[in-house]
């Protein structure tokens, strides 16, 4: 029997049993679509994180004060350290070979006020290097001057949203604002830029690191970002950094160094595993669809006993009958898969239009994996009905005897 | 053409073994017209299925055109069946979702014949049974007689040399039944070997050779006087000359055959 004839024959069968066919198609389509859509979410999250970190530029090391003595924990992001990581430490680390740029950070929240308007925002005390490391540009005015690396100057750079809140459409550069209990001159306004690494760059104020030391009355850095030179060895540099800190901290390298690559790799790992797990859970619906196919096929074999007997009388072998029944479910699953893929892609592209910031997209493996799982499930669950059909005794079948 | 030797088949029904065929010997020459009669459960249908390669004997041998069939694999039997044997059933066995033409094409489709050739042959055969204008109709739109004609066309489409009919008129009224018998007898005259299982004495009598079965045994094998003896008003042409030297018209109940169905008594 030719393949085209088989498809045509089964197509006529579907046409004759429209309700049954539509039900099975929908079951398969839901299974395939749910695998694709759910894995798209996981993949979207992975891409989002990936993009966020890539936007930092490459070759970044982040140094936290304090050290986790036990393994397995995360970096002590908000932990306290016995010894502060000071600005002097930072400048010393900045002199290490292969460090291109440093961005020490003292962070806190402060009330920023102008006239009667005020706003409590995140306040970052840092140096000129921060703008480079985080790839920030100003929409108006200038970034912190090099002098601000060492001097407590009364100047600040506003986030775009904060500037609008305080100044509206008027120019802010050169105006004075009050941050905490100090008056500072606005020297720049950051360009419009969305969230980055969970920090809303539009709604903050950046001041010189020395000013922040006074404002928050602390010597300790919140963290220190270091940018490596091209081609520098990361592990070697980490050793150098620890050596410098040991020198300065009475023989203890009480810092934690996290590299950008390791963070990305960790997140990638977690999210890929998560996506696989989600996909596997969604694939259960394909299993359910398979069981539905088996049930309906078994009923179909019973209903079509006479037809099967006839086909055998007309020269069909048992193998041909089995192929016909397996082909029926494979055709069904293929059509259902196409429907499911179309539906899933439609929903995904719709969501992508609604939330353009979130890079929602099915992972490369999701569509073939979903279709293959569906086909295998269809094949597996129609094997029994097909075998039963193939083994049917034509004589009894045509007499309508249930044997 | 057909050589059955010592064919025995036993079914188990409700735990009880039932002898459907018991040491049946039968030989059939090409072009013969044979009717098989007998009470229900006498093994008529089993014999038919055996001849049609739908069933395998428990013991004994069946040679079809000189080929020993019992050693063939299922695949080969299926092919042999498709190419050499046409079936006609009491309940027509047409597939309702297919048109008349598609039903007729079915055996060729199973055999993998290409669509164009299939359509040509099927159309020609449909015209042969006088239903050319019904090609696109589905079984639901045809009368009983027309359905059986479509079924006959389907049986013919592979140009078989053996036509097996199981109660071909059982579901038809008198007129349609005669009509169908007329069609298959015409085929027989054109050379096809015809074997009809029937309950209808009037139809059984028309055959050139009549078998009577009881309890799985051929108890009577006579060369009948064919069409002429049964119903004189029938217009079918004389098949009778096939068996002109037959015994005198023994009624269907006359027991002149061999009791054990041993040697077949065909006078050819």
Packing angle of the helix pair A305-313, A260-303 (nearest 10 deg): 80
ipTM of the complex: 0.78
Q: Nearest to residue A304, comparing CAs of A290, A292, A316?
A: A316
Residue B6: CB atoms within 10 Å: 14
d(C-alpha A235, C-alpha A241), whole Å? 10
If you average pLDDT over residues A285-291, what whole number do you get?
A: 89
In which band, very low, low, confident or very high, does the pLDDT at B143 lie, cut at 50, 70 and 90?
very high
Between A55 and A278, the more confident residue is: A278
The pLDDT, as a whole number, for residue A74 is 55
* pLDDT (0 to 100) of residue A194: 60
Q: CB–CB of B97 and A315 under 8 A? A: no
**Mean pLDDT, chain B, whole residue set:** 82
Residue A106's pLDDT is 93
Tell me: pLDDT of B238 over 60.
no
- Ranges A28-37, A63-72, A212-221, A351-360: which has the least confidence: A63-72
Mean pLDDT for the stretch of residues A75-98:
76
Distance from CA of A41 to the nearest CA of B (A): 44
Which residues in chain B touch residue A14, judged by CB atoms under 8 angstroms apart?
none
Structure tokens at A144: 């912190």
Q: Is B146 helix (H, G, I), strand (E, B) or coil?
A: helix
Q: Is residue B17 part of a domain?
A: no
Give the range among A186-195, A368-377, B188-197, B231-240 with minimum mean pLDDT: B231-240
B86 min Cα distance to partner chain A (Å): 8
Name the residue in chain B with its Cα closest to that of A392.
Answer: B54
Residues 6 or more apart in contact with residue B266 via CB below 8 angstroms: B27, B28, B29, B32, B209, B221, B223
- pLDDT band for position A98 (cuts 50, 70, 90): confident
Is residue B165 within 8 Å of residue B88, measured between CB atoms?
yes
- The answer to whether A318 contacts B74, with C-beta atoms less than 8 Å apart, is yes
Per-domain residue ranges of chain A: 3-53+265-399, 83-253
Do A2 and B154 make contact, defined as CB atoms within 8 angstroms?
no
pLDDT bucket at A186, cuts 50 / 70 / 90: very high
Q: Would B4 be classed as within a structural domain?
A: no
* Distance in angstroms (rounded) separating the CA atoms of residues B103 and B89: 14
Q: Do B81 and A394 touch (CB under 8 A)?
A: no
Does the beta-carbon distance from B45 to A9 stay under 8 Å?
Answer: no
DSSP label at residue A229: P
Record: contact A313-B81, CB cut-off 8 A: yes
Averaged pLDDT for residues A232-247: 88
**Lowest mean pLDDT, pick from A10-19, A64-73, A318-327, B48-57:** A64-73
A18 interfacial to chain B (CB closer than 8 Å): no
- Domains in chain B, number: 1
A123 — phi, psi (to 5°)? Answer: -115, 125
The CATH code of the domain that includes B229 is 3.40.50.300
Mean pLDDT of A303-326: 89
Does B153 score more than 90 pLDDT?
A: yes
CA atoms of A206 and A212, how far apart (whole Å): 9
H or E element in which residue A15 lies: helix A3-16
pLDDT band at residue A195 under the 50/70/90 scheme: low
Q: How far is CA A131 from CA A92, A143, A155, B238, in A?
A: 20, 8, 15, 111
Q: Does B268 touch chain A (CB under 8 A)?
A: no
Instruction: Report the alpha-carbon distance of residue A140 to residue B198 in Å, rounded.
Output: 104
Mean pLDDT, rounded, for A186-192: 89
Which 33-92 residues of chain B touch chain A by CB within 8 A? 45-46, 49, 52, 54-55, 74-75, 77-79, 81-83, 87, 89, 91
- Distance CA(A259)–CA(A226), nearest Å, equals 9
Helix (H, G, I), strand (E, B), or coil: what is residue B3? strand
CA B172/CA B92 separation, integer angstroms = 10
Q: Are A336 and A24 in contact (CB under 8 A)?
A: yes
Share of chain A above pLDDT 90, in %: 35
Residue A128 has pLDDT above 70, yes or no: yes
Domain residues for the domain of B204 are 30-56+74-243
Q: What is the mean pLDDT of residues B96-116?
A: 92
Looking at CA atoms only, how far is residue A398 from chain B in angstroms? 8
Say what the pLDDT of residue B251 is: 41
| β-bridge pairing A255-259 and A117-126 | unpaired
Query: Has residue B261 got a pLDDT over 50?
Result: no
pLDDT digits (tens, 9 = 90+) for B73-100: 888 888 899 889 999 988 888 999 999 9
User: In the A/B pair of chains, how many CB contacts fall below 8 A?
Assistant: 74
Q: Does residue A313 contact residue B158 with C-beta atoms inside 8 Å?
A: no
Contact A311 B97 (CB under 8 A): no
Alpha helices in A55-120 (DSSP H): 87-94
B257 located within any domain: no
Nearest-CB residue to A315 (from B49, B79, B91): B79
Q: Which of residues 306-365 of A touch B (CB under 8 A)?
A: 306-307, 309-320
Task: Please give the distance of CA B256 from its chain centroid, rounded to a whole number.
Answer: 24
Residues in A closer than 8 angstroms to B112, CB to CB, are 1-2, 5
d(C-alpha B268, C-alpha B246), whole Å? 11
Mean pLDDT across the stretch A173-178? 93
For residue A205, how many C-alpha atoms fall within 13 Å in the half-sphere facing its CB?
31
Count of residues in chain B: 268
pLDDT (0 to 100) of residue A191: 85
User: Which pLDDT value is given to residue A232?
Assistant: 79
Task: Judge contact between B23 and B217, C-beta under 8 A.
Answer: yes
- What is residue A77's predicted lDDT score, i.e. its pLDDT? 55
Tokens of B106: 């079915």
- pLDDT of B91 reads 87
Task: Name the nearest CA neighbour of B186 among B131, B245, B235, B120.
Answer: B235
Nearest to A310 among B82, B93, B112 (CB): B93
Contacts of A315 in chain B (CB under 8 A): 78-79, 81-83, 107, 110-111, 158
Provide the residue count of chain A: 403
pLDDT digits (tens, 9 = 90+) for A51-72: 877 766 667 888 888 775 544 4
For the cut 70, the answer to whether the pLDDT of residue A402 exceeds it is: no
Q: Which of B64, B102, B47, B50 is nearest to B212 (CA)?
A: B47
The answer to whether B112 faces chain A, any CB pair under 8 Å, is: yes
**What confidence tier does B225 reach under pLDDT thresholds 50, 70, 90?**
low
The per-residue pLDDT for B239 is 41
Q: Which residue of B has its CA nearest to A320?
A: B110
Strands of B209-214's sheet in order across: B85-88, B162-166, B193-197, B33-37, B209-214, B217-223
Give the pLDDT score at A31. Answer: 93
Q: Calculate how close chain B gets to A382, using CA atoms only, in Å.
A: 21
* Burial bucket for residue A355 (CB in 10 Å: 0-12, 13-18, 19+): exposed
pLDDT recorded at residue A156: 94
Quick check: A236 pLDDT over 50?
Answer: yes
DSSP three-state, residue B196: strand
Which residue intervals of B74-143 are DSSP H helices? 74-84, 100-111, 115-128
Residues 6+ apart with CB under 8 A from B167: B89, B90, B197, B198, B199
Mean per-residue pLDDT of chain A? 86
- Closest residue in B to A313 (Cα) is B54
Q: A76 pLDDT band (50/70/90 cuts)?
A: low
Phi/psi of residue B195, nearest 5 degrees: -130, 120
């Amino acid at each position: 029997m030719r393949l085209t004839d088989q498809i045509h024959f089964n197509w006529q069968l579907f046409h004759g049993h429209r309700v049954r066919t539509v039900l099975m198609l929908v079951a398969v389509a839901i299974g395939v679509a749910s695998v694709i859509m759910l894995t798209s979410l996981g993949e979207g999250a992975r891409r989002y994180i990936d993009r966020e970190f890539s936007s930092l530029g490459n070759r970044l090391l982040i140094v936290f004060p304090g050290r986790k003595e036990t393994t397995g924990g995360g970096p002590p992001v908000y932990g306290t350290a016995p010894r502060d990581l000071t600005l002097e430490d930072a400048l010393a680390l900045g002199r290490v070979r292969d460090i291109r740029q440093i961005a020490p950070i003292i962070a806190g929240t402060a009330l920023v006020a102008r006239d009667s308007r005020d706003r409590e925002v995140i306040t970052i005390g840092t140096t000129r290097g921060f703008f480079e490391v985080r790839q920030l540009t100003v929409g108006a005015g200038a970034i912190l001057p090099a002098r601000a690396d060492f001097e407590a100057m009364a100047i600040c750079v506003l986030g775009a949203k904060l500037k609008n809140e305080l100044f509206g459409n008027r120019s802010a550069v050169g105006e004075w604002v009050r941050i905490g209990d100090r008056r500072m001159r606005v020297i720049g306004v950051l360009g419009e830029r969305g969230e980055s690494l969970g920090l809303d760059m539009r709604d903050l104020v950046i001041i010189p690191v020395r000013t922040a030391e006074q404002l928050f009355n602390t010597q300790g850095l919140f963290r220190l970002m270091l940018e490596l030179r091209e081609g520098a060895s990361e592990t070697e540099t980490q050793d150098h950094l620890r050596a410098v800190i040991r020198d300065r901290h009475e023989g203890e390298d009480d810092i934690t160094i996290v590299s950008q690559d390791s963070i990305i790799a960790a997140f990638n790992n977690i999210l890929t595993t998560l996506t696989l797990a989600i996909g596997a859970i969604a694939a259960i619906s394909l299993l359910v669809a398979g069981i539905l196919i088996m049930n309906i096929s078994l009923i179909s074999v019973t209903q079509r006993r006479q037809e099967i007997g006839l086909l055998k009388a007309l020269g069909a072998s048992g193998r041909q009958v089995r192929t016909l029944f397996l082909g029926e479910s494979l055709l069904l699953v293929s059509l259902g898969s196409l429907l499911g893929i179309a539906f899933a892609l439609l929903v995904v592209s719709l969501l992508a239009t609604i939330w353009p910031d979130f890079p929602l997209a099915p992972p490369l493996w999701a569509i073939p994996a979903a279709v293959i799982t569906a086909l295998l499930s269809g094949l597996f669950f129609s094997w029994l009905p097909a075998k039963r059909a193939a083994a049917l005794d034509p004589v009894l079948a045509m007499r309508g005897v249930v044997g | 053409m057909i050589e059955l030797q010592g064919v025995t088949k036993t079914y188990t029904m409700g735990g009880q073994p039932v002898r459907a065929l018991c040491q049946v010997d039968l030989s059939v020459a090409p072009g013969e017209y044979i009717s098989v009669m007998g009470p229900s459960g006498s093994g008529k249908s089993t014999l038919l299925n055996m001849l049609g390669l739908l069933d395998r004997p428990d013991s004994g041998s069946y040679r079809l055109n000189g080929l020993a069939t019992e050693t063939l694999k299922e695949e080969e039997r299926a092919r042999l069946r498709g190419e050499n044997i046409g079936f006609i059933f009491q309940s027509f066995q047409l597939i309702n979702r297919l048109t008349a033409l598609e039903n007729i094409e079915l055996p060729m489709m199973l055999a993998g014949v290409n669509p164009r050739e299939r359509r040509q042959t099927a159309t020609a055969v449909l015209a042969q049974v006088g239903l050319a204008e019904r090609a696109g109709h589905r079984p639901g739109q045809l009368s009983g007689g027309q359905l059986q004609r479509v079924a006959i066309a389907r049986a013919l489409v592979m140009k078989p040399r053996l036509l097996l009919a199981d109660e071909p008129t059982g579901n038809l009224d008198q007129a349609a039944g005669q009509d169908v018998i007329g069609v298959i007898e015409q085929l027989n005259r054109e050379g096809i070997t015809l074997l009809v299982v029937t309950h209808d004495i009037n139809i059984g009598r028309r055959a050139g050779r009549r078998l009577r079965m009881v309890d799985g045994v051929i108890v009577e094998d006579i060369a009948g006087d064919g069409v002429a003896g049964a119903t004189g008003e029938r217009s079918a042409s004389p098949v009778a000359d096939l068996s002109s030297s037959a015994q005198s018209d023994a009624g269907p109940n006359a027991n002149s055959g061999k009791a054990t169905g041993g040697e077949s008594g065909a006078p050819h």
